[in-house]
Amino acid sequence: MATIFWPLQSNIIRQNSVSNTFGMVRKYASGAPKPHQGWDFSATVQTPVFSIAEGSVAFVRDKGDYGLQLCLEFDFDGTTLYAFYAHLYKVHVAEGDSIQANQLVAASGESGNAQGMAVADQHLHFEIRTKAYAGLGLADRLSPAHVFGRCPLHQVIAG
């Protein structure tokens, strides 16, 4: 079994709201279901962020709604998966670097479309992907619960 760590020292879903978990959990103005591609972990700006597994850096980039992003490739019981971190303030590693499990890799932030949020809404957007460069909606993504075994909604899980 792969050893998986949590990305923060204190892991809890933003606002304890199911709309900040994975799936068709949000709504468009029309009322139609809208996807959220990962989990939003509560994290004030500049909270330390850790690698969830041993692996390597697939990419670092600053682009679009996700802002400053870090994508880590890792092996999960024989399958290659990607841990994707967004809205970062700073990334401490570079593309191609080898990464240890639970290594300090970034600081959370409010880049991209997370700019200017109230403190209670500041967060780390975190996805589990099956492709480094995932498609639209929920394509090429899994619920992070697939890797972590449980969701920290209504509970705080220490990293």
* Residue 21 amino acid letter: T
Binding residue count for Zn ion, defined by CB under 5 A: 2
Residue 159 CB, nearest approach to Zn ion (Å): 18
Binding test (CB under 5 A) with Zn ion, winner from 21, 40, 91, 112: 40
Question: Cβ–Cβ contacts within 10 Å for residue 128, how many?
Answer: 24
The residue of the chain with the least Cβ separation from Zn ion equals 125
Measured in degrees and rounded to the nearest 5, phi and psi for residue 155 equal -155, 160
Residue 40 CB, nearest approach to Zn ion (Å): 4
49/82 Cα distance (integer angstroms): 15
Stretch that binds Zn ion, among 1-9, 38-46, 74-82, 135-143 (CB under 5 A): 38-46
Q: Binders of Zn ion among 77-136, rule CB under 5 A? A: 125
45/42 Cα distance (integer angstroms): 10
* Cβ closest to Zn ion, residue 125 vs residue 129: 125
- By residue count, the chain amounts to 159
Token couple for 97: 């670097």
* Cβ closest to Zn ion, residue 101 vs residue 157: 157
* Cβ closest to Zn ion, residue 125 vs residue 141: 125
Residue 115 CB, nearest approach to Zn ion (Å): 13
Asked if residue 74 lies in contact with residue 88, where contact means CB atoms within 8 angstroms, the answer is: no
Three-class secondary structure of residue 140 per DSSP: coil
Residue 114 CB, nearest approach to Zn ion (Å): 8
Residue 1 CB, nearest approach to Zn ion (Å): 28
Asked if residue 43 lies in contact with residue 156, where contact means CB atoms within 8 angstroms, the answer is: no
**Interacting residues with Zn ion (CB under 5 A):** 40, 125
